[in-house]
Chains A and B, each alone.
Chain A
Amino acid sequence: MSARIRSRLAALRTAVARAALPVAAAVTLAGAPLGAQESPVHGEGNVIQVQEETQLERDVRALASQLRCVVCQGLSLQDSPSELAQEMRGIVREQLEAGRSQQEVKDYFVSKYGEWVLMEPKREGFNLAVYILPMVMLFGGVGFVLFKARQWSTPAPAPADGPAEGR
């Protein structure tokens, strides 16, 4: 390798190193807070807080999906974009944050709006009809179809005096 080529290669290496330095520094700086947040040592409190919020949000979502939006047609609080539904989600969040159980929050809304506010009626008393009737009708329908299909597929018995057989 000639001395000219070697000197050009050295110059190129220096240029690349110079260009890469600020990029590396920027990456290091940008990465520092991220690393700090994720570190179980330095950001321990932060990590726990994030987990708590996530759990709360999950609970709010689960509960809001079970409660009916009172100004909509067949939408849950979770699915409704209406302002009142958003504010009712806020109430769900507040009450859960205050330490109330999911059932207590549900009971609060039922005490106000009645059982109507539940997306799924409670499985008790007359409400059971909602769960049982469709099954009864489904099995009844299947039974009826099977019975009829059997009737149709069974050849009709020959008449007792059998005039057709003689032909």
Chain B
Amino acid sequence: MNWKRSLIAFAAGLPFVALLAFGMTRDPNQIPTSMPGQDAPTFTLPVLNAADTVNLARHAGEVVVLNFWASWCVPCRIEHPVLLQAASRYQDSDVHFYGVVYQDTEDNAQRWLNQLGQGYPSLLDPGSRTAVDYALTGVPETYIIDRQGKVVFHRAQPITDLAEFIQLIEAARAGTLGPAGASS
């Protein structure tokens, strides 16, 4: 009789324990992104310390790498050299790099770029409207937009592996980077 009771208690408790165990495998700070696969939100943003604006529509049929950053963001310092190297590799090509300054002052952003190097234009995003359009949850975050104007990659972590990043850009150029597995 006792073993029957134990079996019932075990069977009743198992789904509950399984649910908790499943919860343990998930990072509560990781916000699910739904951007890959969506049309890239259009924008026209002023360029930092330049009398120019950039409209995403200008790059129709080309690949765009968007990196949101801020001078107060420590991980941005870590990934910046990787982004600079990738950008220099694609200079004068159909891949365009843009930084988007997130909740920062122009002076601080420019000072940061003077210190760490500026390989591509950075855009200003007053009111964080573009940041919210891209479902930003912090910095750094990086997006790759393919030739069809779709977001095909979104990473809410620093880009630290140059080889992997180049592979992703190449896949976006070739049109083989799908939304599946392109977010992290």
- Give the interface of A toward B (CB within 8 A): 70-71, 83-84, 87-88, 90-91, 111-114, 116
Q: Is B31 an interface residue, CB under 8 A from the partner?
A: yes
By the criterion CB–CB under 8 Å, are A112 and B34 in contact? Answer: yes
Q: Which residues from 131 to 153 on chain B have a C-beta closer than 8 Å to any C-beta of chain A?
A: 131-138
Closest to B137 in A: A70
Counting contact residues on chain B (CB < 8 A from A), the size range is 10 to 19
By the criterion CB–CB under 8 Å, are B32 and A116 in contact? Answer: yes
Residues of B within 8 A of A91 (CB): 129, 132
By the criterion CB–CB under 8 Å, are A87 and B127 in contact? Answer: yes
- Give the interface of B toward A (CB within 8 A): 31-35, 38, 103, 127-129, 131-138
By the criterion CB–CB under 8 Å, are B32 and A112 in contact? Answer: no
Closest to A110 in B: B34
Residues of A within 8 A of B132 (CB): 84, 87-88, 91, 112
Give the A-B contact count at a CB cut-off of 8 A: 40
Cα–Cα, bound, A88→B131 (Å): 10
Residues of B within 8 A of A114 (CB): 31-34
Instruction: Given the known inter-chain contacts A87-B127, A91-B129, please indicate yes or no for A112 contacting B135, CB distance below 8 A.
Output: yes
By the criterion CB–CB under 8 Å, are A116 and B135 in contact? Answer: no
Residues of B within 8 A of A111 (CB): 34, 38
Instruction: Given the known inter-chain contacts A71-B137, A71-B138, please indicate yes or no for A83 contacting B103, CB distance below 8 A.
Output: yes
Chain A proximity of B95: nearest CB distance (Å): 25
CB < 8 Å neighbour of A87 from B31, B32, B34, B128: B128
Residues of B within 8 A of A112 (CB): 34-35, 132-135
Cα–Cα, bound, A71→B70 (Å): 15
Q: List 26 A-B contacts (CB under 8 A).
A: A70-B136, A71-B137, A71-B138, A83-B128, A84-B103, A84-B128, A84-B131, A87-B127, A87-B129, A87-B132, A88-B128, A88-B132, A90-B127, A111-B34, A111-B38, A112-B34, A112-B35, A112-B133, A112-B134, A112-B135, A113-B32, A113-B33, A113-B135, A114-B31, A114-B34, A116-B32
Cα–Cα, bound, A71→B136 (Å): 9
Cα–Cα, bound, A53→B141 (Å): 36
Cα–Cα, bound, A152→B135 (Å): 58
Closest to B133 in A: A112
Chain B proximity of A94: nearest CB distance (Å): 9
By the criterion CB–CB under 8 Å, are B128 and A113 in contact? Answer: no
Chain B proximity of A90: nearest CB distance (Å): 6
